[in-house]
């Protein structure tokens, strides 16, 4: 359960009041006071809006049945307990009805193969929260090899990105008195050895970046104050984040420093035993990885080196020692084509594997290094359709792997195999709804500039193309995130079973076709993502699947920005909008919480030339009183310290003042995911489905 340096970028610190209300700004924006996250006036406003929404939605005759069904799915003991191997045990974090905040537990492989494994509970988060009077939410653990008996456990209050780290003794099943402990902040801690850790956190004024992440990485010795920890590296305030970490692969132990320059550019340094840092001479935009003797490089832009040209989206490999000695003769492990991109890659003890998207369908290949280069073969036993992911069970000791397989209608399966042999099913999710009446189809819409945009549609086999089917269209379109087919019992139970059609749009800005697909909708070209989403909506209408009055849309975070822009740019296309934990005020987004870290995606509103295009897709600035918008449900979380709840609050207030049909619900806890436990997740989802059914089903109820 080792964490990558890139994953550390997502840790965070919470600010109760994250704005400075300047007089001029107050005149331009009368709702700045709603950015005061936990201010009394703002929370009173939130509670008043919540009360109205609960009266409208939670008292709907169908709400309780939906909430109950969703909670039963989330709490079901039949869910797959995904595990990670450390030493001789397989570890899992689990939430259910009896353990709403969850338990950290472990078992053996022999037990895990059973239908009902026996688990050893190591830490009960519900009991911990009760004892300490804090709503703790599990945020992960890193354990020290080879015994894995000492762990650094991360916890957050209410599900926020900000975490605390505490040292835990697995044998004693207790936190270590006087052990390593990091106060609440957006930061991280990782093992070097039993008496030494790397730590990045809020060390005081000037130690955090403008994005709210660690600017300084330190080495901290046991028994000394954290204030006396040795500085390993200092970045700039304008960086995203800095971190140091150890690769503890036996026989290949190395130390690294990671510097995130922007969301998509970084530097990687090798730290010598003397503390000297050697920067990897690689493009800042490339993702760098080291495993055993190999250095891997995933390109985001074209690169010419060593007399060769490499395409953006390619995956390259070279022996690390050769590279450090000056060699630049890379092997190409993957090169994209017009319809393929690299989804992920990884390694077992003797093999490398790549997960390739071919028109948004996964294909797994095994790569074997040899004297004549790398041999490439399809993974034995991999399915032909669906979302497939693969990860090594223990890359230091075996060629075993875990595989998960799913699609919109097929319950997720967890398989285990050894490369070269057919994998065996370990666990399978039960069917939470009857999928037999439905089918999955892939279609392509034509965007405004002629680009073909794929989308998946799940509908009844006997769907009547009469333009009158309630349809839910989901999208994200940002940060190179790919939306692939996954089994969603909630969608099946709460939407398909009631006669709805479900659609997922693979618009630009995502990663479905690699860096080019993402970069096509960056910054000034952001409109391409919105044109793509509108094209899918128009295609559904043209094919007579639905009509605007029956077409609802849903998205969260960057997808919430998508929802906001579809509302103000294309109001004629939709009958309802669910806008979740959204960005909406693009004039101030970079000043709120982690917003500054996303300027590589959106642009810098402080630069006039960039605000010129940003303002065109800033829903908060573009919403107008005299336009007929579809009904909108805004949802967010007070404890979201990634996307500021002020975005949703202010948009709601402005649209409400203008007289539009808007509804609002804010969970007082929950972090960026919107919920801190299964009960909250079920409640929030039930609100959304009830809203959509109220607005879209009409006489079809």
Active site residues: 557, 672
Torsions phi, psi for 615 (to 5 deg): -65, -20
Give the integer Cα–Cα distance in Å for 70 and 488: 11
Q: Largest Cα–Cα distance of the chain, in whole Å?
A: 74
Q: Is the Cα dihedral 530, 533, 535, 541 positive or negative? A: negative
Whether cis (ω within 30° of 0) applies to the bond prior to 146 is: yes
Give the integer Cα–Cα distance in Å for 61 and 565: 32
Q: Is 54 helix (H, G, I), strand (E, B) or coil?
A: helix
Give the integer Cα–Cα distance in Å for 544 and 538: 10
Give the integer Cα–Cα distance in Å for 225 and 272: 25
Which whole-number Å values give the CA distances from 447 to 54, 507, 529, in the listed order? 38, 10, 9
Q: Is the Cα dihedral 174, 180, 186, 187 positive or negative? A: negative
CB 662 within 8 A of CB 652: yes
Q: Both tokens of residue 690?
A: 């009830």
Q: Is 581 left (phi over 0), alpha (psi -120 to 50) or beta?
A: left
Q: Is the Cα dihedral 670, 671, 674, 677 positive or negative? A: negative
Give the integer Cα–Cα distance in Å for 331 and 354: 14
For residue 581, which of 573, 589, 569 has the smallest C-alpha distance?
589
CB 390 within 8 A of CB 402: yes
Q: Both tokens of residue 347?
A: 């390694």
Q: Is 584 helix (H, G, I), strand (E, B) or coil?
A: coil
Q: Both tokens of residue 416?
A: 């285990």
DSSP H helices in 29-118: 40-53, 63-75, 109-112
Give the integer Cα–Cα distance in Å for 388 and 420: 17
Which whole-number Å values give the CA distances from 699 to 8, 137, 693, in the listed order? 49, 42, 10
Block residue for tokens 């045990």: 89
Nearest-Å Rg of the Cα atoms of the chain is 25
For residue 162, which of 143, 179, 181, 139 has the smallest C-alpha distance?
139
Q: Both tokens of residue 565?
A: 């822009």
For residue 364, which of 392, 335, 343, 337 has the smallest C-alpha distance?
343
DSSP H helices in 35-185: 40-53, 63-75, 109-112, 125-132
Q: Which residues contact 557 (CB under 8 A, 6 or more apart)?
A: 476, 580, 581, 582, 583, 642, 643, 672
CB 545 within 8 A of CB 570: no
Task: Report CA 148 to chain centroid distance, whole Å.
Answer: 27
CB atoms within 10 A of CB 582: 27
Per-residue exposure over 539-556, b if at least 16 CB sit within 10 Å of its own CB, e if not: bbbeeebbbbbbbbbbbb
Give the integer Cα–Cα distance in Å for 524 and 689: 34
Block residue for tokens 């799940």: 458
CB 286 within 8 A of CB 265: no
């Amino acid at each position: 359960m080792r964490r990558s340096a890139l994953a550390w970028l997502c840790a965070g610190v919470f600010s109760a009041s994250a704005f400075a209300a300047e007089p001029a700004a107050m005149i331009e924006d009368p709702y700045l006071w709603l950015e005061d996250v936990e201010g009394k006036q703002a929370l009173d406003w939130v509670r008043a809006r919540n009360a109205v929404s609960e009266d409208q939605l939670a008292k709907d005759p169908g709400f309780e049945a939906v909430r109950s069904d969703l909670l039963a799915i989330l709490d079901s003991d039949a869910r797959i307990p995904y595990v990670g191997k450390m030493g001789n045990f397989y570890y899992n974090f689990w939430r259910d009805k009896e353990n709403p905040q969850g338990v950290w537990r472990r078992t053996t492989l022999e037990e895990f193969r059973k239908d009902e494994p026996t688990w050893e509970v190591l830490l009960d988060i519900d009991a911990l929260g009760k004892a300490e009077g804090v709503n703790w939410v599990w945020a992960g653990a890193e354990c020290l090899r080879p015994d894995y008996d000492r762990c650094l456990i991360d916890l957050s209050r209410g599900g926020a990105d900000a975490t605390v780290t505490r040292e835990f003794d697995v044998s004693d099943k207790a936190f270590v008195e006087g052990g390593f402990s990091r106060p609440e902040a957006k930061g991280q801690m990782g093992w070097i050895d039993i008496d030494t850790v790397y730590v990045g956190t809020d060390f005081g004024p000037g130690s955090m970046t403008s994005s709210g992440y660690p600017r300084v990485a330190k080495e901290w010795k046991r028994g000394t104050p954290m204030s006396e920890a040795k500085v390993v590296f200092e970045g700039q305030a304008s960086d995203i984040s800095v971190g140091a970490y150890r690769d503890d692969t036996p026989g290949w132990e190395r130390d690294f420093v990671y510097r995130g320059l922007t969301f998509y550019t970084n530097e990687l340094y090798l730290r010598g035993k003397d503390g000297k840092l050697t920067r990897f001479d690689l493009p800042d935009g490339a993702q760098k990885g080291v495993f055993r003797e190999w250095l891997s490089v995933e390109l985001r832009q074209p690169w010419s080196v060593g007399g060769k040209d490499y395409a953006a989206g390619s995956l390259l490999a070279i022996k690390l020692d050769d590279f450090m000695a000056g060699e630049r003769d890379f092997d190409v492990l993957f090169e994209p084509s017009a319809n393929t991109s690299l989804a992920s890659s990884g390694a077992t003890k003797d093999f490398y594997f790549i997960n390739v998207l071919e028109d948004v369908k996964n294909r797994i290949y095994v790569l074997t290094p040899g004297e004549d280069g790398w041999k490439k073969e399809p993974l034995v036993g991999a399915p032909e359709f669906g979302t497939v992911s693969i990860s090594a069970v223990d890359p230091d000791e075996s060629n075993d792997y875990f595989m998960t397989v799913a699609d919109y209608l097929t319950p997720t399966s967890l398989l285990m195999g050894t490369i070269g042999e057919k994998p065996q099913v370990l666990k399978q999710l039960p069917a939470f709804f009857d999928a037999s009446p439905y089918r999955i189809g892939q279609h392509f819409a034509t965007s405004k500039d002629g680009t073909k945009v794929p989308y998946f549609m799940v509908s009844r086999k006997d769907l009547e193309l009469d333009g009158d089917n309630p349809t839910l269209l989901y999208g994200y379109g940002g940060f190179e995130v790919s939306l692939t087919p996954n089994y969603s019992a909630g969608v099946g139970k709460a939407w398909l079973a009631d006669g709805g059609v479900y659609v997922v749009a693979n618009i630009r800005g995502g990663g479905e076709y690699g860096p080019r697909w993402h970069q096509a909708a960056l910054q000034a070209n952001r409109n391409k993502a919105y044109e793509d989403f509108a094209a899918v909506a128009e295609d559904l209408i043209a094919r007579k699947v639905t009509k605007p009055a029956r077409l609802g849309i849903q998205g969260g975070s960057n997808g919430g920005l998508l929802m906001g822009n579809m509302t103000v740019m294309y109001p004629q296309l939709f009958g309802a909008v669910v806008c979740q934990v959204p960005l909406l005020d693009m004039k101030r987004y970079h000043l709120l919480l982690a917003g500054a870290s996303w300027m590589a995606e959106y642009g810098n509103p402080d630069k006039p030339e960039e605000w010129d295009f940003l303002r065109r897709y800033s829903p908060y600035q573009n919403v107008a009183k005299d336009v007929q918008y579809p009904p909108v449900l805004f949802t967010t979380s007070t404890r979201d310290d990634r996307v500021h709840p002020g975005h949703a609050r202010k948009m709601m207030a402005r649209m409400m003042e203008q007289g539009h049909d808007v509804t609002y619900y804010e969970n007082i806890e929950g972090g960026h995911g919107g919920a801190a436990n299964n009960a909250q997740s079920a409640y929030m989802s039930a609100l959304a489905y009830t809203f959509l059914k109220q607005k879209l089903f009409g006489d079809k109820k």
